[in-house]
Structure 1
Amino acid sequence: MYLIFLMTDRANAREPMKSLISWACTVDKINRGLNFMNKKKFTYITALTLLSFTLMTGCTNERKENQTAYRQIGINAMENGDYAGAVDAFNSALGQCIGKITENELDICYYKAAAQYAGGDPAGAVDTYTAIIDYDKKAADAYYLRGCVYLKQGDTESAVSDFDKAVKNNSSDYELYVNIYENLSAYDMTEKGEEYLNKAFDIKGNSAGDYAWRGRIYYYLGQYDNAQTELKSALDKESVIANLYIAQVYEAQGDPENAEVYYQNYVNSGSADSQAMNALGEIEIAKGNYSGALTYLEQGISMENVTNRRELMQNLIICYEYTSDFNSAWNVVQEYVQVYPDDASAQREYIFLKNRMEQTAPAENTEEAVTEDTQAVEDTQTPEEAQTLEDTPAQ
C-alpha cells in the first residue's frame, strides 16, 4: 500500500491518491524519500471557492500548458513534503480552467485533496472530496478517500457510510474491498472490515488476478487452506504477485522454509518490493544469518518506492550491530530518530551507539563528539530510563 506521486498517464491518475490516503490513514506518515525538484510558491486562493468554480467551468486548450506546468510543480512540492506549496500550485492549475471540465481537472482535485490531508488539513481534504462528489455522484474513489479521512478523524459512522457508497459504485474492484478492510482493521474495526472482504467474493472470475485476490482475501480471513488453493491456481496461470501472497500464507502457518522459497521466487521475478525484501531479511534474522539479512534489507531500503521504511531501518540497525558494523548502525539510527522521534527504545539505542562511537573515536575528537543532538535525546529521558542505561553493562 505505498504511495507514489509522480504520474505520467491518466490511466493510473487516481491510484496515487488512493494509496496516499489509505496508507496515511493506517500508518500516519508520509514518505519524503523521493528526489525532488525546486519548488515554487503561489498566491493562495480559497480552496473550496476555486474548486467549485473550476468544476462549473473547466479548462480551454490555450491554458492546458500552464495547467500541466502548475500540476507538475504541485507534484514536485509534494515530493518535497511542501504540502502547502503543493496546494497553492494545484489551485493555480485549477485556476487555468475556463471551459468544460475534463479528467485532468478531476485528477488535479484528487492531488490537491491528498496534499491537504498530508499537510494537516483534513477538513480541507473533506471539502475537496465533497466537491468532487457533488460533481459526480458515482465517484467511488472520492467516497473511499473521504471515508478514510473520516476514519482518521474518528468519525466511523461517516467513514462506513462512504465506504458503502464506494463499493456500491465500484462493486467489482477487489482492491477497494481490501483497502477498506486494511483501514478499518488498523482502527480496531477488523470485524467490520471482514464484512467487506466477504462481499468481495461476490466478484466472479477465473483469471490469474481473480485467483490471486481471492487468495489474499482468504489469507486476511485466516482461512489459509483456501488461500493456498486459490493462490496455487493463480500461480498455475503465471501470476507473479501470487508468489508474495502465498509466501505470507506459509509464514502465517509457521512454515518459513516454503515462505522463503516463494519470497525468493517473487524477488527473482523482478517485481519484488520493499515488503518482500524485509520479509526475506527477517527470515534470515530468525536463522541468525545477519549478513544474509543485510543483503535483502539494503536492497529494500534502496528501492524507489519504500512503504515500510521504519521496519527496514529497525532491522538494519539490528543486523549492523550483530555484524559489528557500528558505523553503519550509527548512521542509520541518526536518521531514524530524526524521522521517528517518538520511539523511546530508538532514543536509547541512539545514546548507546553515540557513546560507543565516542569511546572508539580518536582522543583528539572526543570532546567534539558530544553534539547538541545527543543532549536533546538525553533531555527526553525519564530518570528511570537514564538509570537503566547507566546500569547496562558495556558491550
Structure 2
Amino acid sequence: MNKKKFTYITALTLLSFTLMTGCTNERKENQTAYRQIGINAMESGDYAGAVDAFNSALGQCIGKITENELDICYYKAAAQYAGGDPAGAVDTYTAIIDYDKKAADAYYLRGCVYLKQGNTEGAVSDFDEAVKNNSSDYELYVNIYENLSAYDMTEKGEEYLNKAFDIKGNSAEDYAWRGRIYYDLGQYDNAQTELKSALDKESVIANLYIAQVYEAQGDPENAETYYQNYVNSGSADSQAMNALGEIEMAKGNYSGALTYLEQGIAMENVTNRRELMQNLIICYEYTSDFNSAWNVVQEYVQVYPDDASAQREYIFLKNRMEQTAPVENTEEAVTEDTQTVEDTQTPEEAQTPEEAQTPAQ
C-alpha cells in the first residue's frame, strides 16, 4: 500500500488550473519549501497552517499535474481530515478520482472517511474499487479488514481477507502475508504452515506473525522465542516490545518486563503508546518504583482523560507520594509500597495480557 495515504487535496486548486505558466526552477524550489512547511505544521498539530502551506505549494506550479502535485495534495488531505473537515476530504478524494479513475489510494481513503461518517454502503463501494484497481496488494486487503472490524463489520472484512488469497505467489513476502491473513481469520494451523515457509525464506516479519499465532494458541514459550528473534533482527517495533513485556508480566517478572516496555515507549514510531503506558504503570508499581509510576500516570491522564481507572490510579499514586515522601527510602516505606501494590492489584490479576494492560485499581 502506498504510504502517501494520509494526505489531502482540494479539487479546484489542483484540477481547474489551465496550462499557463508551467513550473520554473525557482517555483519548484518554492513548492518544495512550502511542502516541508506544511509537513512540519502537521507534525506540530497545526493542521490549518499545514493546509495553507500545501495550498501555497500547489500554487507555485500551475500547469501539468505531476507526481509532486499529487503528493502534496495527498498530504493536504491528511491535514484537512485531521483538522476536522471530513466532508472536505470526501470532496477532495472525489476530485482525485475524477482526475485518475484508477486511483486505488484515493478510493481506499475516501472509503475510510465514509466509514467514519457512518456511510457503510459508500465505504464498501470504495473499498471494492480500491481492490479492483490494486488487486495484488496484500496490505490493502488487510487494512480494509482492520477498518471494517473497527466498526463492527468483521464478517464483511473477512470477505476481503479471503479475496487476498487470489494473489498467489511463493516469495517470502507472499508466505508472510498469507500467514498474517490466516492469523486474522483465526486459522492458526494454516497460519503456522505459511509462516514457517516464510521463515525458511528468511522473512523477518514472519517472526512477529508466528509469535502472535503461538500467543493466540496459548503457547507463550514459543511466542517469546519468535518475538525475541524479531527483536534480535533489529526490526522490532513497539508492538513486539509490548508483547514481550506482557509475557514477562505473566511470569511475574516485572523488572524484566520493564526492559522491553521502556524500549518500546522510547522508539521513534510508537503505535501503541496507551498499552505501553498502562503496562509501565503496573510494572513500576510491582517493582516499588512509585516515582516512575507517578510520572507515567500524570502523562497518561493528560493524554487519555476519559480513562476512569487511570483517574483512580492517579489519585492513589498522588496520595501515596504525598504520604510516603518523608520516609521514601526507609525499610518501612518499602514494606508499605509492596503492601499497597498487593492491595491494589494481585499478581494473579496481571497474569493475562488483557488484564495486564489495565492500570491497578
TM-score, L = length of structure 1: 0.79
Deviation at 1:62, TM superposition (A): 3.1
Deviation at 1:53, TM superposition (A): 3.4
TM-aligned CA distance change 1:185 to 1:390, over 3 Å:
closer
| Counterpart-to-counterpart distance in 1, 2:239 and 2:351 | 37
| Counterpart-to-counterpart distance in 1, 2:17 and 2:55 | 11
> What is the SS of the residue equivalent to 2:18?
helix
Deviation at 1:279, TM superposition (A): 0.3
Contact 2:107 2:127 in 1 (8 A): yes
Contact 2:8 2:77 in 1 (8 A): no
TM-aligned CA distance change 1:38 to 1:231, over 3 Å:
closer
Question: C-alpha deviations, 1:126-167, integer Å up to 9, x for none?
Answer: 122111111111000000011001111111000000000000
Contact 1:234 1:242 in 2 (8 A): yes
| Counterpart-to-counterpart distance in 2, 1:252 and 1:246 | 10
TM-aligned CA distance change 1:54 to 1:95, over 3 Å:
farther
TM-aligned CA distance change 1:239 to 1:368, over 3 Å:
closer
Contact 1:354 1:374 in 2 (8 A): no
> What is the SS of the residue equivalent to 1:147?
helix
Contact 1:326 1:353 in 2 (8 A): yes
Deviation at 1:382, TM superposition (A): 26
TM-aligned CA distance change 1:290 to 1:380, over 3 Å:
closer
Contact 1:87 1:115 in 2 (8 A): yes
Contact 1:44 1:88 in 2 (8 A): no
Question: C-alpha deviations, 1:234-267, integer Å up to 9, x for none?
Answer: 0000000000000000000000000000000000
Say which is worse superposed, 289-298 or 37-46, in terms of deviation: 37-46
Say which is worse superposed, 320-329 or 383-392, in terms of deviation: 383-392
Contact 1:68 1:93 in 2 (8 A): yes
TM-aligned CA distance change 1:318 to 1:48, over 3 Å:
farther
TM-aligned CA distance change 1:142 to 1:386, over 3 Å:
closer
| Counterpart-to-counterpart distance in 2, 1:261 and 1:40 | 34
Say which is worse superposed, 98-107 or 60-69, in terms of deviation: 60-69
Contact 2:39 2:50 in 1 (8 A): yes
TM-aligned CA distance change 1:230 to 1:360, over 3 Å:
same
| Counterpart-to-counterpart distance in 2, 1:293 and 1:65 | 49
TM-aligned CA distance change 1:238 to 1:366, over 3 Å:
closer
Deviation at 1:88, TM superposition (A): 1.1
Deviation at 1:393, TM superposition (A): 17
Deviation at 1:386, TM superposition (A): 24
Contact 1:39 1:77 in 2 (8 A): no
Question: C-alpha deviations, 1:271-304, integer Å up to 9, x for none?
Answer: 0000000000000011010000000000000000
Contact 1:51 1:128 in 2 (8 A): no
> What is the SS of the residue equivalent to 1:56?
coil
Deviation at 1:361, TM superposition (A): 3.1
TM-aligned CA distance change 1:84 to 1:386, over 3 Å:
farther
Deviation at 1:121, TM superposition (A): 1.2
Quick one: percent identity of the two aligned structures? Answer: 96
Deviation at 1:226, TM superposition (A): 0.4
Contact 1:231 1:246 in 2 (8 A): yes
Can you give the 5+ residue segments of structure 1 that lack an aligned partner in the other structure? 1-36
> What is the SS of the residue equivalent to 1:53?
coil
Question: C-alpha deviations, 1:39-90, integer Å up to 9, x for none?
Answer: 9999999874466438998744431101101111111111111111111111
| Counterpart-to-counterpart distance in 2, 1:136 and 1:351 | 55
Match of 1:21 in 2: none
| Counterpart-to-counterpart distance in 2, 1:318 and 1:66 | 50
Contact 1:358 1:366 in 2 (8 A): no
Can you give the 5+ residue segments of structure 2 that lack an aligned partner in the other structure? none
Match of 2:255 in 1: 291
Say which is worse superposed, 121-130 or 288-297, in terms of deviation: 121-130
Contact 2:8 2:80 in 1 (8 A): no
Match of 2:359 in 1: 393
TM-aligned CA distance change 1:56 to 1:266, over 3 Å:
farther
Say which is worse superposed, 58-67 or 373-382, in terms of deviation: 373-382
**Count of aligned pairs between the two proteins:** 359
Contact 2:8 2:89 in 1 (8 A): no
Q: Which segments of structure 1 move beyond 2 Å, counting only runs of 4 or more? A: 37-62, 360-395
TM-score, L = length of structure 2: 0.86
| Counterpart-to-counterpart distance in 2, 1:253 and 1:60 | 60
